A and B are shown apart, each in its own frame.
Chain A
Amino acid sequence: MSTLSIRDLDVTLGDHAVLRGVDLEVPSGSITAVLGPSGCGKTTLLRSVAGFVRPESGEVRIGDVLVSGAGRHLAPERRGVALVPQEGALFPHLTVGQNVAFGLPRAERRRSPRVAEVLDLVGLAGFAARRPAELSGGQQQRVALARALAPDPSLVLLDEPFSALDAALRESVRTQVREALERSRATALVVTHDQDEALSVADSVAVLDDGRIQMHDSPQAVYRSPSGLGVARFVGQCVELPASVSGGVAVTALGPMRVEAVPPGSGLAQGVVVLRPEQLRLLPLTTGEGTAGEVVGGEYFGHDALVRVRIGGNDSPLEVQVRTLGEIPERGAVRVGVSGPGRFYPA
């Protein structure tokens, strides 16, 4: 397994600059997710690494090998990069075992212990004789992963690997794939538009938007301390409060609160404080803590609920979302409390 490093990559398709100066480093044996909205260029990034797209400039290295750059463009079959596309793309004319053996050297294809080994790794021991059409979507996805891992590639690329699965299956397959990747100590790049997927599967998350990497950090950092308002909005739901800040304390409609990322200079600054809905709590009216508000509606998800609360009275009404366990409370007066620091973005 090797480190993937991408330096200053520019890719133009037709006359459209899809990637502009992308830098990305995936350490050996780790999983990095590239997260971005559709059309942000993430699939193009993946295809450039695989060798199906020829970059305009910049370089791609896998381990010590320069695979793209400086006038060099290694053919896909010579890169040792294995692809797990959306919906698996298993070869329908081959059995599961033949699919997995596809990338092995000719002499080993017939009888290689490797096939059973990787099928076992993805939890499908004994499936070698089946046909792809007999498998469920999740099983197909895991066979696609086994096929990619079999030749012991330097790097595994996964393109929206779980988006074709239904919600119930997605989580379990995600866990199985993550475990299989960890056990094989593979270096992996996962491309996805699904925030939950990126945050739960990867060791680090790179947020790609408008052809550039906007932020690359641990999942916690990307969620808790987004580098900008755009990243904050894309990674999860936001409660945005207009605020003025000085000396590390912001004055907002939910009262004064501690904030991070205050610009140096520390004068009075205007901007927006961003909180996550789970940082807000509904409090009983009797406590007297927090800010007065009124429940106006909500969405119920079963495992939790998002409650819409109007605060700030009639002069400057503002709706905030509060994540709660349990039912949506009846409409009427409540109080809203805040825990943990907010994050400040100057206007």
Chain B
Amino acid sequence: MTTPEARAADATRAPTSRGSSRVPFFLGAPSVVVAGITLLPIAYLLVRTAEAGASRVAEIVLRERTVLLIGRSVLLAALVTSLSIAIGVGLAFLATRTDLPGRRVLAGLAPLPLAIPSYVAAFAWISAVPELAGLAGSVLVLTLCCYPYVYLPVLAALRRADPGVEEVARSLGRSPSQVFREVTLRQVRPAAAAGGLLVALYTLSDFGAVSILRYDVFTRVIYTAYRSSFDRSTAAVLSLILVLLTVAISVGESRVRRRDIARVGAGVSRAVQPVRLGGLRFPLGGAAGVVLALALVFPIGSLLWWFLNGLSAGIDGVHLAESVAATAWLALLGAVACTLGAVPVGILAARHRGSFTTVVEQITYAGHALPGIVVALALVFLGVRVVPWVYQEAPLLVLAYVVLFVPTAVGAVRSSVAQSSVRGEEVARSLGATPTDVLRRVTLPLAAPGIGAGSALVLLTCMKELPATLLLRPTGTDTLATSLWTETGVGAYGAAAPYGLALVVLAVLPTIWLMRLTDRERGTPR
């Protein structure tokens, strides 16, 4: 869960290095290893597909069912994306530019659904309204989980936008609603588009929610194909098609993000005169309230209801405690591994720009576009065939976490290193420190808080991860996510609820803390 806001801020920060672009070996070598690890799953899927032979691949691709599958996935992604854009832009505008009562509370609560794992929300809904299984439920649940991907960057764009431009438009004779359409919406369009593409990416990659809601899209069918047949080429080929889709979307996303409208001139941002909603304040405020109720209150309420229901039947406290411990332990391993891998790549990206760095950095970002189920599947194949002694042991799962979440950690390292000045490192060199000394005594201590926050974010993301954990977890180990999955699968909603609640507590509280932290950092000068 890299917030799109953080990614957008990251992209606009120019590299500050002016020194030599020669890449030191002690950064270059580990970076190449990390990039190699990231490429492993795709490479293995390609090998696997090649082995299946052209005619077999053609047969799988051209099956009527495959075409139908592409249609369903694209339909789901399109519906979720357009609804998320409407809700995200609407809420961001209400929160920043109007006199809506309670808009501060709205601004604080609106991003929180991001922290509820989509499969937990899916569980909360289907356990209460079983009729939701299928397309409608998937659209509802995924939209409510994903709209913050649009809301956050649009909110940032609205806060950053120069209100002077809107005032000029008013003074040139435009009405408030014309200004909204012609000026305000234009200013947030790049942010909304980038957020929308992230939503599409997330929807195509989502495994847990669509599986629990029993809607057959790529991820669910790949999983079924893997579980039900000895011939794994179907799963491999479908995975590759899904990767093609997600890669296309993430290329689009990075293009749009780069085109963000630059602010002309450096005027000081000041408070905007809020738009008076007048009689519209009740319907609009009501609509915002309904969104928050559906996205936050209902899922948590449903979890609590099942939890209390389950209490009377008795809760397996031992298994819950074991799940918490296993979740924390595996996520900690994942966070440490991601951070260790991200440090060399992030420092290269911040300090030694050049074609080598660009290639390495882009490769490590591949994880952004890889659905968890695909990475998991590739590593299962690889594990069974090449390294059977680590198959269903912790190292292979940690490897999957690295592929999936090293981009988040690289982003954190890169931006926190770029924040400190290159001059300090040069002074250190001139005072006799070798490049590795400089890293140990200056660069890393200065970047430590940012890198720490990045690691915490990866830790949380690993805790919530479902598909890779499900396929690769050590034999006999259950995490919160897999326990919830198992109990939901057999319809034991009361037994599943404690795991869902624990996940929400684990995810939501740190998210609030992290948002406070970033707000405060931005609030202080310099």
B334 to chain A, nearest CB (A): 28
Stretch of B54-62, B267-275, B388-396, B427-435 with 4 or more beta carbons under 8 angstroms from chain A? B427-435
> Is B424 part of the binding interface, using a Cβ–Cβ cutoff of 8 Å?
yes
A sample of 17 inter-chain contacts (CB < 8 A) reads A52-B20, A52-B426, A54-B20, A76-B426, A77-B433, A77-B434, A77-B437, A79-B430, A82-B430, A91-B442, A92-B446, A102-B433, A102-B441, A148-B430, A148-B431, A151-B431, A157-B430
Judge whether B423 and A85 touch: CB under 8 Å: yes
A121-157 Cβ-contact flags toward B at 8 Å (1 or 0): 0000000000000000000000010011001000001
A94 to chain B, nearest CB (A): 8
Nearest-CB residue, chain B, relative to A79 = B430
Judge whether A147 and B20 touch: CB under 8 Å: no
> Is B518 part of the binding interface, using a Cβ–Cβ cutoff of 8 Å?
no
Judge whether B426 and A103 touch: CB under 8 Å: no
> Is B19 part of the binding interface, using a Cβ–Cβ cutoff of 8 Å?
yes
> Is A86 part of the binding interface, using a Cβ–Cβ cutoff of 8 Å?
yes
Given A89-B424, A91-B424, A83 and B430 contact (CB-CB distance below 8 Å): yes
On chain A, the residues within 8 Å of B433 by CB distance are 77, 102-103
> Is B445 part of the binding interface, using a Cβ–Cβ cutoff of 8 Å?
yes
Nearest-CB residue, chain A, relative to B434 = A77
> Is B178 part of the binding interface, using a Cβ–Cβ cutoff of 8 Å?
no
Indicate which residue in A86, A90, A102 contacts B431 across the interface (CB closer than 8 Å).
Answer: A102
A242 to chain B, nearest CB (A): 43
Given contacts A147-B431, A148-B427, 6 further A-B contacts (CB under 8 A): A50-B426, A52-B20, A52-B426, A89-B427, A148-B431, A151-B432
Q: Tell me the bound Cα distance from A193 to B369 in angstroms.
A: 50
Q: Tell me the bound Cα distance from A165 to B424 in angstroms.
A: 18
> Is B421 part of the binding interface, using a Cβ–Cβ cutoff of 8 Å?
yes
A56 to chain B, nearest CB (A): 14
On chain A, the residues within 8 Å of B430 by CB distance are 50-51, 76-77, 79, 81-83, 148, 157
Looking at A52, A87, A157, which has the most chain B CB atoms within 10 Å of its CB? Answer: A52
Judge whether A83 and B20 touch: CB under 8 Å: no
On chain A, the residues within 8 Å of B427 by CB distance are 83, 85, 89, 144, 147-148
Indicate which residue in B424, B429, B441 contacts A76 across the interface (CB closer than 8 Å).
Answer: B429
Nearest-CB residue, chain B, relative to A133 = B526
> Is A93 part of the binding interface, using a Cβ–Cβ cutoff of 8 Å?
yes
Q: Which 8 A-B pairs have the closest CB atoms?
A: A103-B431, A89-B423, A76-B429, A83-B430, A85-B423, A89-B424, A93-B445, A77-B432
On chain B, the residues within 8 Å of A83 by CB distance are 426-427, 430-431
Nearest-CB residue, chain B, relative to A76 = B429
Judge whether A77 and B445 touch: CB under 8 Å: no
Q: Tell me the bound Cα distance from A144 to B428 in angstroms.
A: 11
On chain B, the residues within 8 Å of A77 by CB distance are 429-434, 437
Chain A residues with a Cβ closer than 8 Å to the other chain, count: 28
Interface size range on B against A: 20 to 34
On chain A, the residues within 8 Å of B432 by CB distance are 77-78, 80, 103, 151
Q: Tell me the bound Cα distance from A322 to B97 in angstroms.
A: 58
Give chain B interface residues in 406-456, CB to chain A under 8 Å: 420-421, 423-424, 426-434, 437, 441-442, 445-446
Judge whether B446 and A93 touch: CB under 8 Å: yes
Judge whether B423 and A52 touch: CB under 8 Å: no
Q: Tell me the bound Cα distance from A75 to B427 in angstroms.
A: 13
On chain B, the residues within 8 Å of A81 by CB distance are 430
Q: Tell me the bound Cα distance from A52 to B430 in angstroms.
A: 9
On chain B, the residues within 8 Å of A157 by CB distance are 430
Looking at A102, A144, A151, which has the most chain B CB atoms within 10 Å of its CB? Answer: A102
Q: Tell me the bound Cα distance from A61 to B483 in angstroms.
A: 70
On chain B, the residues within 8 Å of A102 by CB distance are 428, 431, 433, 441
On chain B, the residues within 8 Å of A144 by CB distance are 427
A77-120 Cβ-contact flags toward B at 8 Å (1 or 0): 11111110111011111000000001100000000000000000
On chain A, the residues within 8 Å of B424 by CB distance are 89-91
Give chain A interface residues in 260-316, CB to chain B under 8 Å: none
Q: Tell me the bound Cα distance from A91 to B448 in angstroms.
A: 14
Q: Tell me the bound Cα distance from A102 to B425 in angstroms.
A: 12
Looking at B19, B421, B424, B432, which has the most chain A CB atoms within 10 Å of its CB? Answer: B432
On chain B, the residues within 8 Å of A78 by CB distance are 432
On chain B, the residues within 8 Å of A52 by CB distance are 19-20, 426, 429
On chain B, the residues within 8 Å of A91 by CB distance are 424, 428, 442, 446
On chain B, the residues within 8 Å of A54 by CB distance are 20
Nearest-CB residue, chain A, relative to B449 = A93
Q: Tell me the bound Cα distance from A75 to B437 in angstroms.
A: 14
Q: Tell me the bound Cα distance from A89 to B424 in angstroms.
A: 5
Looking at B420, B421, B429, which has the most chain A CB atoms within 10 Å of its CB? Answer: B429
Q: Tell me the bound Cα distance from A89 to B428 in angstroms.
A: 10
B21 to chain A, nearest CB (A): 11
On chain B, the residues within 8 Å of A93 by CB distance are 445-446
Q: Tell me the bound Cα distance from A82 to B430 in angstroms.
A: 5
A74 to chain B, nearest CB (A): 12
Q: Tell me the bound Cα distance from A33 to B174 in angstroms.
A: 58
On chain A, the residues within 8 Å of B420 by CB distance are 92
Nearest-CB residue, chain B, relative to A92 = B446
A128 to chain B, nearest CB (A): 17
On chain B, the residues within 8 Å of A90 by CB distance are 424
Looking at A78, A91, A147, which has the most chain B CB atoms within 10 Å of its CB? Answer: A91
